[in-house]
Structure 1
Amino acid sequence: MIRILLVDDHAVVRSGLRMLLNAKSGLTVVGDAADGDEAIRLAAELKPDVVLMDLSMPHGKDGLSATAELKKLLPDTNVLVLSMHDDDEYLFRAIHAGASGYVLKSAPHEELLSAIESVSTGSAYLYPTATKRLMNEYMERIKRGDNSDAYESLSEREKEVLAWIARGYSNKDIAENLIISVKTVETHKAHVMEKLGLRTRPDLVKYALKKGLLNFDS
């Protein structure tokens, strides 16, 4: 029996998921939470096999932070993200936070059930279009070659700006934290992207993930 904890800020979503999962032989919902803080408390108490985690929860701790904290507390509990965001940035941040899988809320019920069963055994699960994108990106990297020394060409300030961008902070937030102007942040960002051969914010996030620069402790 796979024991599942549901985490979503919408009560109607939790109710629907509970009905769907409890109707499937071999699955049982042992609890549900409306935010990350409640999820961590219940997980510590219930010790579920799988936590089905929403990312965007406006009250309390969000799904990314909750996932990172939960994996430190209960490393044997597998987190499956169920999100509306079909976006590489969210996907990579969820994986780095410790999630074992990522499924879209628009996915068919059968895919969700399959994902739960997969992560419960310790396997990873990504929704099909994400897997295809990652494979295409991998093949493109092989074709053009990677410059492993590029990161060392960044200044210390540029490395700081890269890390802040990758954690999801806006240029304004970065400027306030580093006590520099927004224009200076934009200049550093442009230099980073030029030196690393990157074009978009999601590209920066994926690069930072590979370099181990993302941190969800704060």
Structure 2
Amino acid sequence: MQFELKRIQREVGITFIYVTHDQEEALTMSDRIAVMNNGNVEQIGSPTEIYDRPATVFVASFIGQANLWPGRQTGRTNRDFVEVDVLGTTLKAKPGDTTIEPGGHATLMIRPERVRVSMEVPTGDVATVPATVKDLTFQGPVLRLSLAAPDDSTIIAHVGPEQELPLLRPGDQVHVGWSPDASRVLPAADIPTTEDLEEMLDDT
């Protein structure tokens, strides 16, 4: 149905406005998405922009799954990247569209599928953190890992077969990493839980 509606829209050449709470449906059908929160527009952009470059913590948590950790932006490494104190260490990250002053509160975002897990410390231009496996769930195409960072924050990783990991068990010590370019530093905000998002949808 989603693809059929999109085909019809392209054939007739008119603008469709489609209202949905289904994030996958919005990403699949839209050329541009407006994400609203309590009647206010949080962000307008293409599906790729909304997913990869969310403007706020709400957008990052509402569209898809995201790791979101509170921290402080401590400075810049160069014109393209900043440093953030988060997860018990200092990581290089991609700044968002909102300017955050050095020392200001911030939230670091990374999608679970962007997280790489390895037994050895990653090399190269990688933001990396030692972690302990807490739980793992086989989900078909991916293995969902729940890991504990040095500050006990939870890191979620969706690991595909291409990562070629050995059989992991709770308590195993690993290293997680990601390209700094895949991360996003967002303005500090309360990080909604799954229950918060479900309650919001129930109220609408």
Is TM (by shorter chain) over 0.5?
A: no
Q: Which has the higher helix share?
A: 1
Q: Which has the higher strand share?
A: 2
The two structures have a TM-score, normalised by structure 1, of 0.28
The two structures have a TM-score, normalised by structure 2, of 0.30
RCO higher in 1 or 2 (8 Å CA, sep ≥ 6)? 2
